[in-house]
A and B are shown apart, each in its own frame.
Chain A
Amino acid sequence: MRGQKRFAWLMAAPSILAMVALGIVPLVWMVWTAFQSFSPNPRIPPRFSGLDNLGNLVGDPQFVGSLKITILVLIAALILQLVLGFILALALYSIKRARGLVVSLILIPTAIAPIVAGIVWWMLFNTRFGAINSVLFQWFGIDPVNWTIEMPTAYIAIVVAVVWQWTPFVAVILLGGLTTIPRDTLDAARIDGATAWQRLRYIVLPLMRPFFLVVGLLMIIEIVRLYELPFYITQGGPGNQTVVAGVFLFKLAFSFFDLGRASMMSVFLVIALSMIAALYMRLVADHKNKGASG
């Protein structure tokens, strides 16, 4: 028995070691770093500074601004992704032939590396030679828009790129959800006198709730740690107005080399993300009977 147990530990050891080395050690180190003050001079060792990093962050208008713009992007992008994703899912659901092929094609934006997508959208939104301004001018006679260097167009540009990249993924997950609804259940609703809209409202949407829950959570996580798209499309501009949390974090760590504050911000984001996720789950999951009685 003892030998067996030892063997089991031996077999599990590599993955446990990898997890500790790559997951837990950096995490603990990050939390430790969050309470240290780093000098720009690498020869001066860090010293314990308590909650100074947090105080500095909270007092930094850039930090507050980065959270604000992140939340604005989160709200707009999440709503658009879920609504457009669901409409796209319904459209995909009505395709009878070659659905698999269409789904694979539609997933291309999600499959593209975010950094490539960022560069592509930066080029599309370019004021002078971007395709978007060119189309607006040639088809609608609209003068060139300074998309990425003015507000609120810079914000819109980021939201558009995020929605473009992730909506197909949302649609595919929701399509998976739609296919789990039995035809008989929908037929029964038709017999009970439900119109197409009522079937959607009373049957489909309530049954889709778990799928919205999962895909919404994934999208929240994805948007809060957003980095490449805004970094390439607006470079944080105009001014610092589109420096989202991920970009600000990058700047703290690799432009200012302020590892203490960067770590503190990471810890802050982890906690904030957990709270947002919990809130979202309450919103979506707690209304179990709404579809039936509301």
Chain B
Amino acid sequence: MTALSLRGIRKSFGAVEVIKGIDLDIDSGEFVVFVGPSGCGKSTLLRIISGLEQATSGDTVFDEEVVNDHTPFERGVAMVFQSYALYPHMTVAENLGFPLKLAKADPQEIAAKVKAAADILQLGPLLDRKPDQLSGGQKQRVAMGRTIVRSPRIFLFDEPLSNLDADLRIEMRLEIEKLHKRLDATMIYVTHDQVEAMTLADRIVVLRDGSVEQMGPPLDLYENPVNTFVASFLGSPRINFLNVELLDSDASSCKLLLADGSHVTAPFSAGTASVGEKMKLGVRPEDLSASGGDFSIPFRMEIHERLGPTSYLYGRSGADSIVAEYRERGAVTPATLTTLGVNSAHAHLFDANGLSVRNRQERVS
């Protein structure tokens, strides 16, 4: 188990700076997930941690030791790739044992460690097969097994589940979670899938354009996003943004002008925002309801999507498109539903720059 620190990491490819100064401390045994859209630098950051890529400046520190010049092997990292990156000409057993063979380990020791890893991941019956005789999920298991045999200091996962179908993805996600519990190892996981991030992470690091937007435990980020980017990245379906104008604000409430001209009074402060400012009101689909709520917004329903226990209502509020979760069983028509109630305790107000107005009233518990 190893703690990791990144200090002022920057990385440029030619004139393009892809990592723009990242500072990050990861505790020993922590499961940290890097999320962000394609091109945000999350994979590059992982490759810098692994030692496959050199940072242009800044330090990578493993347990107080600067490892900038260490090879991936010297750092003692193991990595699972999106493409699995198994050696196609070797059997499963040889794939698992390859790092040990390179380290000139005793064949008996290799066999024992390969067997132990195979047992953990139920790879026993597959040991003599070649990768092209394995299914996607099995390949993924082998790739994970190859990381285990090394007993690495840090496990790195680069979008490991992206090539799997939905069922397997859930299964392997649980597998990775079990592995983390079992090994109690430091793991860093890169994904663009917010569900994986929410379910796996002790802590999520949201990246955009090579900078950290926000980091913290999944629910913290979900409940208190610092800006519209983080708010819209986490949660599915995505958070709704209503374009509003601030009419009035005091310490405990604010008056907002909705796009359709109606006013609402929300029970939280707009902080330092000035009257007349164009703002965005962020409300998650589950905080909208057909009845109740602290205030209502107009709603013109377009589609009712039934998923079983819950269903989603798609429509518009003024010019803003809206998704609302609908938990009741009965049918709903545009005629019967013309407003949605907002649970304001979980609503977020963002200023013109997309930054959260943090001085909200304390959440009513």
B98 touches A184 (CB 8 A): no
Q: Report the separation of the CA atoms of residues A74 and B274 in the bound assembly, to the nearest whole angstrom.
A: 86
Chain A residues near B86 (CB, 8 Å)?
185, 188
Identify which of B52, B84, B91 contacts A190 (C-beta below 8 A). B52
Contact B79–A188 (Cβ < 8 Å): yes
A293 touches B94 (CB 8 A): yes
- In the assembled complex, which residues on chain A have CB atoms less than 8 Å from the CB atom of B90? 291-292
B 46-57 to A, binary, CB cutoff 8 A, 1 in contact else 0: 000010100000
Shortest Cβ distance from residue A206 to the other chain B in the assembled complex, whole angstroms: 4
Q: How large is the interface on B (under 10, 10 to 19, 20 to 34, 35 or more residues)?
A: 20 to 34
Interface membership of A191, Cβ < 8 A: yes
| A63 interface contact, C-beta 8 A | no
Provide the bound-state CA to CA distance between A189 and B71, in Å: 12
Interface size bracket, A side: 20 to 34
By a CB distance below 8 angstroms, the chain A residues around B102 are 192-194, 198, 202
> Of residues 136 to 151 in A, which have CB atoms within 8 Å of B's CB atoms?
none
Residues of chain B within 8 A of A203, CB atoms compared: 87
Query: In the assembled complex, which residues on chain B have CB atoms less than 8 Å from the CB atom of A202?
Result: 87, 98, 102
B103 and A193 contact, CB distance less than 8 A: yes
Contact A187 B73 (CB under 8 A): no
Q: Write the B297-338 contact mask toward A (1 if CB under 8 angstroms, else 0).
A: 000000000000000000000000000000000000000000
Interface flags, B327-358, vs A, CB<8A=1, else 0 = 00000000000000000000000000000000
Q: Which of A260-294 contact B (CB under 8 A)?
A: 288-289, 291-293
Residues of A within 8 A of B91 (CB): 292
Look across to chain A and name the residue whose beta carbon is closest to the beta carbon of B98: A192
The A contact surface, by secondary structure, is: helix
Q: Are B89 and A184 in contact (CB under 8 A)?
A: no
Q: What is the bound-complex CA distance between A127 and B181, given in angstroms? A: 78
Asked if A106 CB lies within 8 Å of chain B CBs, one says: no
- Identify which of A182, A189, A209 contacts B83 (C-beta below 8 A): A182
Point out the residues of chain B lying under 8 angstroms from A198, CB to CB.
102
Give A290's nearest chain B residue, CB to CB: B89
Q: Which A residue sits closest to B74, measured CB to CB?
A: A193
Contact assessment for B85 and A185 in the assembled complex, using a CB-CB cutoff below 8 Å: yes
In the complex, whether A207 has a CB less than 8 A from a CB of chain B is yes
Question: Is B8 close to A, CB under 8 A?
Answer: no
A206 to B89, CA, bound (A): 7
A187 to nearest B CB, angstroms?
A: 5
Interface contact A187-B98, CB-CB below 8 Å:
no
Taken together as a complex, chains A and B put the C-alpha atoms of A57 and B136 apart, in Å, by: 60
Q: Which of B100-115 contact A (CB under 8 A)?
A: 102-103
B73 touches A192 (CB 8 A): yes
Asked if B146 lies at the interface with its beta carbon under 8 angstroms from chain A, I say yes
In the bound assembly, the distance between CA atoms of A88 and B283 in angstroms comes to 61
CB distance from B169 to the nearest CB of A (A): 19
Q: Is B77 an interface residue (CB 8 A)?
A: yes
State whether A207 and B98 are in contact (beta carbons under 8 Å apart), knowing that A191-B77, A192-B73 are contacts in the complex: no
Question: Would A288 and B103 be within 8 Å (CB), given that A184-B81, A191-B52, A191-B72 are in contact?
Answer: no
Residue from the list A188, A193, A288 in contact with B89, Cβ < 8 A: A288
CB distance from A199 to the nearest CB of B (A): 10
Residues on B with beta carbons closer than 8 Å to the beta carbon of A192: 73, 98-99, 102, 146, 150
Q: Please, which residue of chain B has its CB at the minimum distance from the CB of A288?
A: B89
Residues of A within 8 Å of B78, CB to CB, are 191
A→B interface (CB under 8 Å): 182, 184-185, 187-194, 198, 202-203, 206-207, 209, 288-289, 291-293
In the complex, besides A191-B79, A193-B72, A193-B73, 6 extra interface pairs with C-beta distance below 8 angstroms are A185-B86, A191-B50, A192-B73, A202-B87, A203-B87, A209-B89
